[in-house]
Amino acid sequence: MKTTELRQKDVAGLQTEVKELQKAHFGLRMQKATQQLTNTATLRSARRDIARAKTILVEKQHAEKSAK
């Protein structure tokens, strides 16, 4: 997911996106554990997507606090 797509979302949207990404990452880890995952590079990209979404979420939360 691109940062421009994430920056267009509000805080609630970002929180749901992070939860969905974490669920997807969990599914990938389970596939790896059961030897069903063929492309292990998807684990790395999933982790980075989660980190990207969390970073933008924190930025938006800090911006809301400073605006008050």
Asked, for residue 67, whether it belongs to a domain, the answer is no
**Confidence (pLDDT) at 1:** 72
Asked, for residue 46, whether it belongs to a domain, the answer is yes
Asked, for residue 38, whether it belongs to a domain, the answer is yes
**Confidence (pLDDT) at 15:** 96
pLDDT in tens, 5-54: 999 999 999 999 999 999 999 999 999 999 999 999 999 999 999 999 99
Residue 25 maps to which CATH number?
1.10.287
Containing structural domain, residue 43: 3-62
* Cα–Cα distance for residue pair 26/10, rounded to 1 Å: 24
Asked, for residue 68, whether it belongs to a domain, the answer is no
Q: How far apart are the first and last CA of the chain?
A: 30
**Confidence (pLDDT) at 34:** 96
pTM: 0.91
Asked, for residue 10, whether it belongs to a domain, the answer is yes
Cα separation values, 29 from 18, 25, 32, 38, Å: 16, 6, 5, 12
R_g over Cα of the chain? 14
Asked, for residue 48, whether it belongs to a domain, the answer is yes
**Number of domains present in the structure of the chain:** 1
